[in-house]
Amino acid sequence: MSEPSAAVAERMAPETRETVKAFTDGGYKYGFVTDIETETIPPGLNEDVIRLLSAKKNEPQFLLDFRLKAYAKWLTMTEPTWPKVGYPKIDFNEIIYYAAPKQKKELASLDEVDPELLATYEKLGISLGEQKRLSNVAVDAVFDSVSVATTFKDKLLEMGVIFCSFSEAVKDYPELIEQYLGSVVPIGDNFYAALNSAVFSEGSFCYVPKGVHCPMELSTYFRINAAGTGQFERTLLIADEGAHVSYLEGCTAPQRDENQLHAAVVELFAHKDATIKYSTVQNWYPGDKDGKGGIFNFVTKRGRADGDNSKISWTQVETGSAITWKYPSCILKGDNSVGEFYSVALTNNYQQADTGTKMVHLGKNTKSTIISKGISAGVGQNTYRGLVRIAKGAENARNYSQCDSLLLGDKCGAHTFPYIEVGNTTGQVEHEASTSKIGEDQLFYCQQRGIPLEDAIGMIVNGFCKEVFRELPMEFAVEAQKLLGVSLEGSVG
């Protein structure tokens, strides 16, 4: 597909342009800062910082070795420049690599969590307390670099499901960590993955044992609070034979003028007949309407459908971050394994997103589906970048890709870079792409029926994203729709 840009964007009547502008001047409702005492280590990165970080967390030797090896690797690597995003060079020595809400001692229960912190999560609409029992969602909340609380841990453990913070897992299940950490995203995979492997401080860990269908949605909530901090979480999810798990992560950050780096790594490992569904609603602070501040979201997410008949499904709704650089991918190693990627990425104001997926078909009869919906407003730049690779031995592999872009206004851009490599003649690859704009005619049609302009835009955008929203767990689909509305309108909430 060609690269339609601002030139393709529609010629809007002045009134329409004004209205679109009025509610794309979005406000960010999660931009508050929690006033809480934070323990940090001085900015900068060297081996000593890594040793200090590891020591603070009482990590076993294998993990320190893992970090140091990754650090050594990272030093030899350079930042990727191929994404279609522009930003000033990051000084990695100005970043604080560890920030934790100060706590006197280890927490035995939720009751001991700093009430300020709990209040913050309440404000974000995430209750770590009793209410969540009703909605059947287990939550692990990560505040800056530390996991604050995990709900339902005991109940899940009764079924053998381990769901806890990464640090706890290191302490309680070191053998699982040692076995799986870096098995999907190797330490030297890419610049930011290497950095993460060296300095990651917290994240979530989940293990679902053989044959168990996890009885509830698991969810992690990430929040960057401290200034000048980088957030480097590590998430590791393992579904053993025949296991099923659905997992959701949400992210927000305060409104700050400087850019903050978020470089996470997520690894999913699916054994034979296992299914992992991973959904993300990402709403990191996108910067203000002039492009000042906002999170740099440079994330490596990959799932390995290792066993036969395994399945990995990614669903993401990306509305935040100044810059998004993210390609949740599937390695389809097992025969008959299935990979899915459903994505909505919205860029407004000066946001830039270069996002997509990689589907690597190794096993026989493997199947992948890619549905990507990009929405650009303001002067936002939205790029889909995807790779479908069918290896030599992947008999009868199939892929279907659909990339749709929607433009609002005449200053934004949508770009598509699909890469296809087919090494087996029995492979079938389909790619469909479209670029459309919210047409004046569509808006007029809605208005003529009495629907106000802003509602009409919300309705059309949600209609455009429908195929992705219906992949989200029910309660989050509603949230995602609302979020999209907020990101576009800035008038709600």
Partner 1 sequence: MSTFLEIRDLHASVDGTEILKGISLKVNRGETHAIMGPNGSGKSTLAQVLAGHDAYEVTQGEVIFNDSDLLDLEPEKRACEGLFLAFQYPVEIPGVSCTYFLKMALNAQRKYRGEDELDAMDFLARVREKMAQVQIDQSLINRPVNAGFSGGEKKRNEIFQLLVLEPQLAILDETDSGLDIDALRTVSSGVQQYRNENNAAIVVTHYQRLLDHITPDFVHVLSEGKIIRSGGPELALELEKRGYDWVRQEAGQLAEA
Residue the block writes with tokens 């320190």: 64
Smallest distance, partner 1 to C-beta of residue 461, A: 9
Q: Of the candidates 69, 424, 455, 482, which one interacts with partner 1 according to CB under 8 A?
A: 455
Give the nearer residue to partner 1 in terms of CB position, either 276 or 443: 443
Closest-CA residue to 311 (of 371, 269, 373): 269
Smallest distance, partner 1 to C-beta of residue 289, A: 25
Of 4-43, binders to partner 1 (CB under 8 A) are 13, 15-16
Contacts of 448 (CB under 8 A, 6+ apart): none
Determine if 72 is a binding residue for partner 1 (CB under 8 A).
no
Give the nearer residue to partner 1 in terms of CB position, either 122 or 455: 455
Q: Of the candidates 452, 480, 490, 493, which one interacts with partner 1 according to CB under 8 A?
A: 452
What ranges in 76-138 are assigned the alpha helix state H?
115-123, 131-135
Smallest distance, partner 1 to C-beta of residue 17, A: 11
Give the nearer residue to partner 1 in terms of CB position, either 42 or 450: 450
Cα dist from 38 to 98, 104, 117, 144, 253, whole Å: 10, 12, 12, 9, 16
Q: How far is CA 90 from the centre of its chain?
A: 21
Give the nearer residue to partner 1 in terms of CB position, either 14 or 42: 14
Q: Of the candidates 102, 123, 213, 466, which one interacts with partner 1 according to CB under 8 A?
A: 466
Q: Of the candidates 111, 393, 421, 445, which one interacts with partner 1 according to CB under 8 A?
A: 445
Q: Of the candidates 89, 104, 105, 449, which one interacts with partner 1 according to CB under 8 A?
A: 449
From 127-135, 205-213, 410-418, 442-450, span contacting partner 1 (CB under 8 A):
442-450
User: What is the distance between the alpha carbons of residues 64 and 51, in angstroms, rounded to a whole number?
Assistant: 7
Q: Is 417 exposed, middle or buried (0-12, 13-18, 19+ CB in 10 A)?
A: middle
Quick check: 326 and 297 in contact, CB under 8 A?
yes
The strand pair at 204-208 and 217-223 is best described as unpaired
Q: Of the candidates 125, 393, 463, 493, which one interacts with partner 1 according to CB under 8 A?
A: 463
Q: Of the candidates 210, 446, 482, 492, which one interacts with partner 1 according to CB under 8 A?
A: 446
User: What is the distance between the alpha carbons of residues 138 and 492, in angstroms, rounded to a whole number?
Assistant: 28
- Residue 461 has which token pair? 């955008």
Sheet containing strand 217-223, edge to edge, reads 146-150, 137-143, 217-223, 244-252, 275-282, 311-318, 338-347, 367-376, 398-407, 428-437
Q: How many DSSP H helices and E strands does the chain contain? A: 13, 23
Determine if 492 is a binding residue for partner 1 (CB under 8 A).
no
Mask for 248-267, x = binds partner 1 (CB under 8 A): --------------------
Q: Of the candidates 400, 447, 482, 492, which one interacts with partner 1 according to CB under 8 A?
A: 447
# residues contacting partner 1 (CB under 8 A): 26
Q: Is 115 exposed, middle or buried (0-12, 13-18, 19+ CB in 10 A)?
A: exposed
Determine if 460 is a binding residue for partner 1 (CB under 8 A).
yes
From 94-102, 156-164, 246-254, 462-470, span contacting partner 1 (CB under 8 A):
462-470
Percent helix, strand, coil in the chain (nearest 5)? Answer: 25, 35, 40
Residues in the chain: 493
Determine if 444 is a binding residue for partner 1 (CB under 8 A).
yes
Residue the block writes with tokens 């949600």: 462
Determine if 459 is a binding residue for partner 1 (CB under 8 A).
yes
Give the nearer residue to partner 1 in terms of CB position, either 103 or 462: 462
Give the nearer residue to partner 1 in terms of CB position, either 390 or 456: 456
Give the nearer residue to partner 1 in terms of CB position, either 122 or 467: 467
Give the nearer residue to partner 1 in terms of CB position, either 265 or 377: 377
Q: DSSP letter string over 227-243? A: TTB-B-BEEEEEE-TT-
Q: Of the candidates 5, 174, 442, 482, which one interacts with partner 1 according to CB under 8 A?
A: 442
Helix axes 474-489, 14-24, angle to 10 degrees: 120
Determine if 441 is a binding residue for partner 1 (CB under 8 A).
yes
Q: Of the candidates 257, 430, 440, 475, which one interacts with partner 1 according to CB under 8 A?
A: 440
Q: Is 352 exposed, middle or buried (0-12, 13-18, 19+ CB in 10 A)?
A: buried
Smallest distance, partner 1 to C-beta of residue 464, A: 6
User: What is the distance between the alpha carbons of residues 467 and 402, in angstroms, rounded to a whole number?
Assistant: 11
Residue the block writes with tokens 């191929």: 82
Rounded CA Rg of the chain: 22
Smallest distance, partner 1 to C-beta of residue 463, A: 3
Determine if 110 is a binding residue for partner 1 (CB under 8 A).
no
Determine if 213 is a binding residue for partner 1 (CB under 8 A).
no
Q: Of the candidates 393, 423, 439, 493, which one interacts with partner 1 according to CB under 8 A?
A: 439
Smallest distance, partner 1 to C-beta of residue 469, A: 9
Determine if 467 is a binding residue for partner 1 (CB under 8 A).
yes
Give the nearer residue to partner 1 in terms of CB position, either 330 or 461: 461
Closest-CA residue to 317 (of 280, 277, 372): 280
Which residues lie near partner 1 (CB under 8 A)? 13, 15-16, 439-442, 444-453, 455, 459-460, 462-467
